[in-house]
A and B are shown apart, each in its own frame.
Chain A
Amino acid sequence: MRKITLILFISIMFFNAPVSAGTDGEISLSKKNQPEKVKDCFEKLNRGIFAFNQALDDAIFEPLARGYRHIPSPIRSGASNVLNNLSNLVTIPNNLLQGNLGNAGVNGARFVLNSTVGVLGIFDPAAALGFEKRDKEDYGQTLGRWGMGPGCYLVLPILGPSTARDAVGSAASLLGGDPWYNVTVRNDTQYFNEADYYFSRITNGVDFRAKNIESFENLEENSIDFYASIRSLYLQDRQLKILNSEKITDTMDDSDWEEIETN
Chain B
Amino acid sequence: MNWRKSLIKFSLVFSFIFLFAEKSFSTEPTKFIQTLVDEASKILVNNSSKEDKINKLKSIATKSVDIRGIGLYTLGSHRKNLTENQKKEYNELFREYFLKSFSSRLSDYTDPKINVISQEKLSEKYTIVSSILIATTKTPEVKIDWRVYTKNPEKPLIRDLIIEGLSLARTQKEEFNSVIQSNDGDINSLFLNLRNFINN
Identify the A interface with B (CB < 8 A): 35-36, 43, 136, 160-161, 204-205, 208, 211-212, 214-216, 218-219, 221-225, 227-234, 236-238, 240-241, 248-249, 251-252, 254, 256-258, 260-263
Contact = CB atoms under 8 A, between A and B. Distances in A.
B4 A212 contact: yes
Contacts of A232: 170-171, 174-175
Interface of B is mostly: helix
B101 A262 contact: no
B11 A219 contact: yes
Contacts of B8: 211-212, 215-216
14 contacts: A214-B108, A218-B11, A218-B15, A222-B104, A222-B105, A224-B97, A233-B3, A236-B170, A237-B7, A240-B166, A260-B159, A262-B69, A263-B151, A263-B155
Interface of A is mostly: helix
Nearest to B167: A236
Contacts of B105: 218, 222
B174 A237 contact: no
- Residue from A238, A240, A260 whose CB has the most chain B CB atoms within 10 Å: A260
Contact of A225 (B4, B126, B151, B178): B178
B175 A262 contact: no
Interface of B: 1-8, 10-12, 14-15, 66, 68-69, 72-73, 76, 97, 101-102, 104-105, 108, 120, 122-123, 125-126, 128, 145, 147, 149, 151-152, 155, 157, 159, 162, 165-167, 170-171, 173-179, 182, 193-194, 196-197
A88 to B, nearest CB: 14
Nearest to B120: A249
A251 B128 CA distance: 13
A123 B2 CA distance: 21
